Structures are given as C-alpha cells and as structure tokens.
Structure 1
Amino acid sequence: MQHYFIGVKLPGDLACHLVDVRKEWQLEQSHKRLPAAVDLHITLLYLGAVEAEVLSELKSQLDELSVAVPEMDITLTGVSTFGNPLTPRVIYASIEDQANLHKLQSSILEKCQKLLLQVDLKPFVPHITLAKKWSGHQAVFSKEMHIERTSFTMRDFSIYSINPGEVPSYKAIHTIYLKDLTT
C-alpha cells in the first residue's frame, strides 16, 4: 500500500543551496541517505499507509485550511541533529520556532485524528533533513557545520506519496494554498 506524508517543499534555489553546502561537509562518508535537492522538505505529519477513501476525505478536510491559515515566513537558523551528537542518525537544517507553523501542524494532526488515521504523535520539531542513516564509518558532525540564516515564504503545503528508489522520491498528489495576505 502507498505511504504518504504532509509537508512543505522548499523553493528550488534554497534546496540547491543546501545541497551545495552539504557537499562541503562530505556527509556521504558518514551517512547512507542524502536526499536530492528536489526531495528537501519540512514534514508536517507522517501518515504512513492510507486507504483511498480516507485519502480523498483528508484532501477535503485539508482544503478547509486554505482560508484559515495565512502564508508565513519560514527561517532556517542553523544545523542540528537527532540522536547521539557524535554519531547522529539525522543531520538537519533547523527552523526558527514559528507559532503559525505549529498551529498549522496541530490543525493537520487534529483533522487526521478525526479520520482515525494512526499518525506519529512525537512532538513536532520542524526541520529539513540533510543526511540520515548513520553509516558507522566516521564521526562527522561538528560545530563547524553551519547554514546562514535565511528565510522563504511558505505559500502552500502538500500531501506527498513516498516512492522509494525514485528521484524525486516524494510526489505531491494534492496541494493546499495558504491565504495570501497581500490581496
């Protein structure tokens, strides 16, 4: 069965910049998976396997957010890790705490729970995965890794299908556009 997540795709120029910066860190020596630029995203909620009827209803439920949630600026603030800092299972670009982003994620979670989806209930830590799956070859993470503070405007989010072994691995199957505050 097809697996899905709800997320925010990065603007192409920012994604390419992050991949260029990541190359300087030589993370291929320490991690098994380095997502392609086209796959860089912020996960709002992992869904896993979803039945077609439930997915259709979820699309309708999420469309309601387009009139309630405004576009928002997302700011990357640096580099951090999940797991042991010396052998991190994930190295990621950290994102500045943003109340509207957390509110959006909570709204999405609530809609999924009402549809009885078995979703991940771990605390939401907005981030952009740059490398994952520690290979065990060498300790690479250091305080020398940094990303300049940069921002982009989040205008939409999507439901993505997960397609392992393909590039792109994640394909938007339904996009929800946020309320434009300039009009």
Structure 2
Amino acid sequence: MEQKTHFFFAVKLPEDTKLAMKEHCEKLKETLPFHRWVHHRDLHITLAFLGYAPSEKLEMAEKKAAEKILGSKPIQLRIDRLGFFGKQDSPRIFFADTEESNELQLIRQKVFTACDEAGFKLETRPFRPHITLARKWAGEEPFQKDAFAVWKELQPEPLAFTVTDIALYQTHLDKTPKYEAIRLFSLDNSR
C-alpha cells in the first residue's frame, strides 16, 4: 500500500544550531536510551501539521501563509532546557525547549490562521514550541527527570539562534533525513 506524504509548516533552524544540537544529542545518547533519535537535519519547531494535503488546498495554505507572514521580522530564540511528553517514567517524546517568545507565538498564530482559512483541520491543543530530539523511551529502568541536568553541562548558557525562515516541509518516510523544505517564507526583508 502506498503511503501518502505529509506536510507541515515549521521554524527552520539555522545549520549551526542543528550542528550544535547534533553534538549535544551524541552525548545525550550515551545516557538516555530512546528508540529513535531525530536526524539533526530534521530538527525544527512545528507550527502547523497539515497531514496529507491535496495540491490545491496546499497551494492555498502557502499563499495565505506568505501573505500573513509578509513584513514579519526575524525572531531571537534560546534553547534553555530539556523536556518530555508522555509518562514521566517512560516518555513518548524527548525534546529541547525554548524560552517563551511572544514573537514566535505571533508567527505561529499567523501560520495556523492561514492553514485554517485554507480548510485544514489542525491540532487544537495549546501550542507548545519544542524541538523533538528522540522518541519512545527504551531504558530498562524508568526514566528519571534528573537526567535533564546534563543539559547545563552540555550548554551552560542557553543556545541562542535567530529564526529567519519558516518552511513548508514534506515528509519522506523512506529517506534519512526525512523532511524536505519545499518552500521557504523569509522573515528577513533584507534578503
């Protein structure tokens, strides 16, 4: 059975940030056994997951997102801690968290509204920006939240970066890395 590709809008992380996170993940893997670690080139912050998208609906979302994002400025973000979703003793998702950013919340609202207006049914839970690093706890012992302390050893100061692009990604489940940026929306008017 043929799998349909999925699409999503996300913050495109700068390459140097992805490389820094790759180094950190190599160290984290030594003590935190998860089933699947995300390839460093696939790191991002999801703004709106569309799932399968017919081309006309996708084009409408792209057009509306471009209109709404137009005139937006680059965003300064800082990765300052680790977190998880799921059960405390057996996390489903392990992620890097960013400090609160009103600018990121505003960009997410613009993208979310554009996709909603294009007819997509989107996630209704509150937006929790994060960068997924790994999935599904694989440890023989229960996960211990104090393992997060290693972040301060790896990154004593928050890892700062500038967001200059929002991307529309297409998923390729049979490839590594599996996310392809098929369209970029610049937040930097000087480029």
Q: 2:63 aligns with which of 60, 63, 70?
A: 60
Matched residues in 1 for 2:47 and 2:30: separation?
A: 25
Contact 2:9 2:46 in 1 (8 A): yes
Contact 2:81 2:148 in 1 (8 A): no
Q: 1:43 aligns with which of 46, 61, 70?
A: 46
Aligned partner of 1:143 in structure 2 is 148
Per-residue CA deviation, residues 56-83 of structure 1 (Å, 9 max, x unaligned), is: 1111111113423211101111111111
CA positional deviation for 1:11: 1.6
Q: How does 1:16-95 map to 2 (within 5 A)?
A: 16-26=19-29, 30-95=33-98
Matched residues in 2 for 1:131 and 1:163: separation?
A: 18
Matched residues in 1 for 2:141 and 2:12: separation?
A: 30
In structure 2, the CA distance between the partners of 1:11 and 1:138, relative to structure 1 (3 Å rule), is farther
Q: 1:175 aligns with which of 173, 178, 184?
A: 184
Give TM-score scaled by structure 2 length: 0.87
Which consecutive unaligned segments of at least 5 residues does structure 2 have?
Answer: none
Contact 2:5 2:52 in 1 (8 A): yes
What RMSD over aligned residues (CA atoms) do the two structures have, in Å? Answer: 2.0
Q: State the SS of the aligned residue for 2:151.
A: coil
Which consecutive unaligned segments of at least 5 residues does structure 1 have?
Answer: none
CA positional deviation for 1:33: 1.3
Per-residue CA deviation, residues 19-54 of structure 1 (Å, 9 max, x unaligned), is: 221222226863221011111111111111110011
Contact 1:34 1:130 in 2 (8 A): yes
Per-residue CA deviation, residues 106-149 of structure 1 (Å, 9 max, x unaligned), is: 11111111121011111111111111122353434423331520
Give the residue type in structure 1 aligned to 2:64.
Q
Q: State the SS of the aligned residue for 1:8.
A: strand
Matched residues in 1 for 2:108 and 2:72: separation?
A: 11
Matched residues in 1 for 2:102 and 2:75: separation?
A: 10
Contact 1:66 1:179 in 2 (8 A): no
How many percent of aligned residue pairs carry the same amino acid? 26
